[in-house]
Amino acid sequence: MIKKIKCNEKEFENIKNDMQTYKIFDNSLNLEYLETFKLVNENTDEELEIQITSVKRYNSLDDVLNIINLENFGIYKDKEDFIKYINKIYDDNKYLVCRIKKTENKIIIDDKKLLNLIKIETLQQEKLGLSGCLVYRLKTKENQDAILKVQNIKGNETLKEEYDVLKYLKGKMNVANVYYYNLYENKEYLLREYIDGEPLYKSKKFGYQLGQELKKIHGYYNEKCQFKKFSVNNLLKNAMEKIDIVYQLRGEYFKDFSKNDIINFLEENKPADDALIHGDFSLTNILVNNEKYYYIDLGNVSISTKYFDIYILKKSLKINNLEEEWNEFLRGYNIDDYNEIYMRWMELIELSYN
């Protein structure tokens, strides 16, 4: 049975109106990654169906705000205002923080140029995908199937990056044609081709081919590529800036490491294998049609270490109970120098992001 979790009216309305994408929950709740539950307005009993797309626990609100921008928690005057508000609700020294996504959304499109391109009556929400933006399937005025992404501007998250990446990758990888991008009244709209296919997690015995595919993608590396937000140096810099969080959240492998040991490990084991990476190489972002692979959700494409993609893929295989594909993936990629230490390096890097 789906859980029901009560929520005060202020936060409920923030979430309902797409003004809040992260929420702090009672630390005793056993919430899990990808779990769906009902959020209930404690004053009106109105319900929202919510999916959890990230779960972490922190020791302080300062730690929380070192990782997550304040604006993702709704409308507050400043950090002190937020802390005062949270401390009224939660009397604990640990904080359960989840990135959340409504599973159903109503949308009003104000961009007249976009409205001239689409048949608004065909618009249907797509629930697949874990990003914070809203995703819809529809038809264009030319009767082409298309995907529309919509999101409010929040910090550094922007659909403009995905738009630029799609244009850059066309002809290099199997990606969608992009039809339109616009920023209108603090809301972004990205219209692209709909790619027909099944998510890879519904397939079997794909590991070897997937390894070959990823090696091909990584081979498109060009030092002149403009997308470098996840470069190895940037990953390391971010981890060092948030080293207290990384140390606090370190896993079993690093349990006996001191903070200085963690710093030394990160500095001494920095990968030196630049590649063009997908940046979110999970099974939900790979579609299959007639044994041909297509790639979606490309906003994180960057020059980085190949282990960035490999690490994310291994996690995705585990989440989808497809770990038997791992060895065949490695065989298909033909990684003669596979380095588990680089995977551990990525494990620490991940802790500095949410």
Domain boundaries, the chain: 4-102, 112-193, 198-351
Q: How far apart are CA 256 and CA 252, in angstroms?
A: 8
Tell how far CA 22 is from the center of its chain: 13
Positive/negative CA dihedral, 129, 131, 134, 136 = negative
The CATH architecture that domain 4-102 belongs to is Roll (2.30)
Mean pLDDT across 5-11: 92
How does pLDDT run across 283-316, given as a tens digit for each residue? 999 999 988 999 998 989 999 999 999 999 999 9
* Three-class DSSP category at 319: helix
Which candidate, 178, 204, 221, 224, places its Cα nearest to that of 309? Answer: 221
**Across all residues in the chain, what is the average pLDDT?**
91
Q: How far apart are CA 195 and CA 173, in angstroms?
A: 13
Q: From edge to edge, which strands make up the β-sheet containing 145-152?
A: 118-125, 134-140, 145-152, 187-193, 178-184
pLDDT at 41 over 80: yes
Tell how far CA 260 is from the center of its chain: 29
How does pLDDT run across 165-188, given as a tens digit for each residue? 999 999 888 999 999 999 998 889
Instruction: Among 3.90.180.10, 3.10.620.30, 3.90.1200.10, 2.40.30.40, name the CATH number for the domain at 198-351.
Output: 3.90.1200.10
pLDDT at residue number 154: 62
The CATH architecture that domain 112-193 belongs to is 2-Layer Sandwich (3.30)
Q: How far apart are CA 66 and CA 239, in angstroms?
A: 11
How does pLDDT run across 62-76, given as a tens digit for each residue? 889 988 889 889 888
Mean pLDDT across 265-282: 95
How does pLDDT run across 204-236, given as a tens digit for each residue? 899 999 999 999 999 998 888 899 999 999 999
- Looking at residue 170, the DSSP 8-state letter turns out to be B
How does pLDDT run across 313-340, given as a tens digit for each residue? 999 999 999 999 999 999 999 988 899 9
Residues 17-20: contacts with CB under 8 Å, at least 24 apart: 18/102, 18/105, 18/134, 18/152, 19/74, 19/75, 19/152, 20/72, 20/73, 20/74
Q: How far apart are CA 61 and CA 104, in angstroms?
A: 30
Q: Which residues contact 130 (CB under 8 A, 6 or more apart)?
A: 34, 51, 53, 101, 284
314 close to 347: Cβ distance less than 8 angstroms: no
More confident residue, 255 or 158: 255
329 close to 211: Cβ distance less than 8 angstroms: yes
pLDDT at 189 over 60: yes
How does pLDDT run across 112-125, given as a tens digit for each residue? 999 999 999 999 98
pLDDT at residue number 321: 94
Of 88-97, 233-242, 313-322, which gets the smallest average pLDDT?
Answer: 88-97
pLDDT at 256 over 70: yes
